[in-house]
Amino acid sequence: MDIKIAVLDARTLDRGDISWQAVEKLGTLTRHEHLTPEAFQTRLGDVPLILTNKIIIDAGVMDKLPALRYIGVLATGYNNIDIAAAGERGIVVCNVPAYSTSSVAQMVFAYILHFSQQVALHNKAVKEGGWARSPEFCFWEKPLAELKGQSLGIVGYGAIGKQVARLARAFDMRVLVHTRHAVSGGDDRLLPVDRDTLFRQSDFISLHCPLTEDTREMVNERTLSLMKQSAVLINTGRGGLIDEGALDKALRARRLRAAALDVLGTEPPPPDHPLVANPHTLITPHIAWATRQARQRLVDMAAENIRAFLEGTPQNRLV
């Protein structure tokens, strides 16, 4: 029997450069660029399987979709799905873990190398004639720094945290890790520490923990006060991990060097968001996960989740 499958917000991950063939083999696929809630009932009323990246699926939406049996989250995070409501209605929900591990870790080091090497700054200086005017064979606008021997603090040690640590060790960095789980260091370049020690000793801090009540605004006025004035804060996790007002104040007071943020508490941010205007931030629009390879992997893994569900053995099941 041919089964209907609908993607609610395909444009969030596909700009025409990835294939949906793996999903199309499993049923009749309809891809909506961004379906509005007002259209759910008329467009999805007879669809049993839906895929969503960021569109909210709460109890009210579920009640409008009588045929709904399966929600596939096109992401690892699933805070846009009312898991309890799905469970009460017998709707299976599956996510896609670990599809973007290498891409996110790569972005972390894009930030770190930005601050260490100042490539874009010096390219701009050369293009504006700075090298041509230089009396010496070279020049630098800001100090350059080796990563060897510097400390990278990693908060959260799941798949992405581990990959970031592997890259850091390739650069001969000292790695400090804070996590709820036991960590075996193996050598003196990987040290499990408490949260305060990590904030005090790290030259770079990278956040890779889930957003929970324990971690919400874990970067706040107190923890920021522990950081080195020369330190850089990196967040590719969730915007809610940071008290953004406290970070803005700390940066403007020069209590730390900079913050590199791929996520904010509100996305897209309002035009007057203080961190966007802050001269000491480097902000990208939630793209650490968005390499073409990671987005293709995401779709292919979502297809495998659907296949497993149709075969009666759901995988990566949340409820």
Q: What is the pLDDT of residue 181?
A: 79
Per-residue pLDDT reduced to its tens digit, 79-106: 899 999 999 999 999 999 999 999 999 9
Q: What is the pLDDT of residue 188?
A: 61
Ranges of the chain with pLDDT below 50: none
Report d(CA 50, CA 69) in Å as an integer.
9
- Select which of 88, 141, 146, 267 is catalytic: 267
DSSP-assigned letter for residue 317: B
Indicate if 213 belongs to the active site: no
Domain 101-283 -> CATH class: alpha beta
Report d(CA 203, CA 290) in Å as an integer.
27
Tokens of 13: 């991950």
Tokens 């409008």 locate to: 64
Output the CATH code of domain 4-98+292-310: 3.40.50.720
Q: What is the pLDDT of residue 187?
A: 59
Closest CA to 9 of 57, 53, 73: 53
What is the residue-wise DSSP string for 13-40?
Answer: T-SS-S--HHHHTTSEEEE-SS--GGGH
Q: What is the pLDDT of residue 47?
A: 98
- Select which of 114, 200, 286, 307 is catalytic: 286
Q: What is the pLDDT of residue 34?
A: 95
Query: What is the per-residue burial (b if ≥16 Cβ within 10 Å, else e) of 175-212?
Result: bbbbbeeebeeeeebbbbbeeeebbbbbbbbbbbbebe
Number of CB atoms found within 10 A of residue 59's CB:
12
Q: Is 107 in a helix, a strand, or coil? A: helix
Indicate if 238 belongs to the active site: yes
- Select which of 238, 244, 295, 297 is catalytic: 238
Tokens 């999805």 locate to: 44
**108 φ/ψ angles, rounded to the nearest 5 degrees:** -55, -45
Chain-centroid distance of CA 83 in Å reads 21
**262 φ/ψ angles, rounded to the nearest 5 degrees:** -100, -10
State the span(s) of the chain assigned CATH 3.40.50.720. Answer: 4-98+292-310, 101-283
Closest CA to 101 of 293, 309, 310: 293
Burial class from Cβ neighbours inside 10 Å (0-12, 13-18, 19+) for residue 50 reads: buried
